[in-house]
Amino acid sequence: MEKKSVIQRLKEKGLKITGQRLAIIDVLVEHGHLHPGASFIYREARKKQKSLSLSTTYATINEFIRYGIIKALEFDERENRCEGNLDEHINLVCDRCGKITDYPVSAYVDRTDVAKTTGFVITGNRCEYYGYCRDCSNGREGASPAAAPRKHRSREHFREFLSSRR
């Protein structure tokens, strides 16, 4: 993710280069590998751009998604996250600390085959593996579990489910 090319694309689309957008771009460039969520981006971008509201943060993220600059990683049980890596890969999602790691993988399904056999026309995909990252599976309480807040107050059963399924 190159700051210059992002700015370039915004200009091409006729969007204005504002301080707020620049601050958010900076966060995406610097912390993109963390797959930051809206709250993280908001908190971090504010350090450089004091006048930034949460609604603008959401709006900007959505702009960037709309223009294909980033992708959204949606979750039901936790905050959504941003994906800056548009290359083909899968995501390793830690169920304990919420860390998301990219793992490169070549295409696993042939879109033409699917279209021929089922009539289904593929336009996008999402592939994730859940489990525990190195730190969390080692018992080392690496990143704080608070990094993966849940949308609903209690979802312990779901945690159980996550850790028992395969």
Partner DNA sequence: AGGTCAATCAAGAATGATTCCGGATAAAGG
Partner DNA sequence: CCTTTATCCGGAATCATTCTTGATTGACCT
Q: Which is nearer to DNA, 47 or 134 (CB)?
A: 47
Cα distance between residue 21 and residue 146, in whole Å: 27
Biggest distance spanned by C-alpha atoms of the chain: 54
Quick check: 94 and 136 in contact, CB under 8 A? yes
Quick check: 101 and 112 in contact, CB under 8 A? no
Q: Is 18 in the site for DNA (CB under 7 A)?
A: yes
Site residues (CB under 8 A) for its own copies, limited to 28-87? 62, 65-66, 68, 71-72, 74-77, 80
Cα distance between residue 76 and residue 162, in whole Å: 13
Site track 20-59 with DNA (rule: CB under 7 A), x = hit: xx---------------xxx---------x-xxxxxx-xx
Q: Which spans of this chain sit near its own copies (rule: CB under 8 A)?
A: 62, 65-66, 68, 71-72, 74-77, 80, 90, 92, 94-95, 101, 103, 105, 108-109, 114, 118-134, 137-138, 157-158, 160-166
